[in-house]
Amino acid sequence: MTNRIEALKKETGLMIITFGHAGDGNIHINIMLDKDNEKELQKGKKAVEDILDYALELGGTISGEHGIGITKAAYMPKEIKEVELNLMKKIKNIFDPNGILNPGKIFV
């Protein structure tokens, strides 16, 4: 994974910082960019997608010990099949029929 990150740094010219937990294999990746710079932002979005695709290719997951957050929610279909996502949505609706638990976060 770290070799791919180094290649992305060179390809994009962006500062990409990695850190994590050697014991459980979680790698956290921060892409440093100016969100007001459209070119950097697009490079950053592409880098995120490349990193997540590569993690899945290696047999990993797009989530870490924190699960799926707002920033990764859009990428869930890369890893989890539609039928499974629909089941998760149904389970959430059973326990939260009024949509008051983490409104607007996931399974909107």
Q: Where exactly are the structural domains of the chain? A: 1-66, 68-108
At 12-63, the pLDDT tens digits run 999 999 988 877 778 889 999 999 999 999 999 999 999 999 999 999 899 8
Q: How many CB atoms lie within 10 A of CB 48?
A: 18
Residue 70's pLDDT is: 82
Give residue for tokens 């609706």. 93
Q: Tell me the C-alpha distance between 15 and 9, whole Å.
A: 6
Nearest of 53, 50, 37 to residue 8 by alpha carbon: 50
Residue 71's pLDDT is: 82
Residue 54 sits at φ, ψ, to 5 deg, of -70, -40
Confidence of residue 105 (pLDDT cuts 50, 70, 90): confident
Q: Inform me whether the pLDDT recorded for 65 exceeds 80.
A: no
Residue 50's pLDDT is: 95
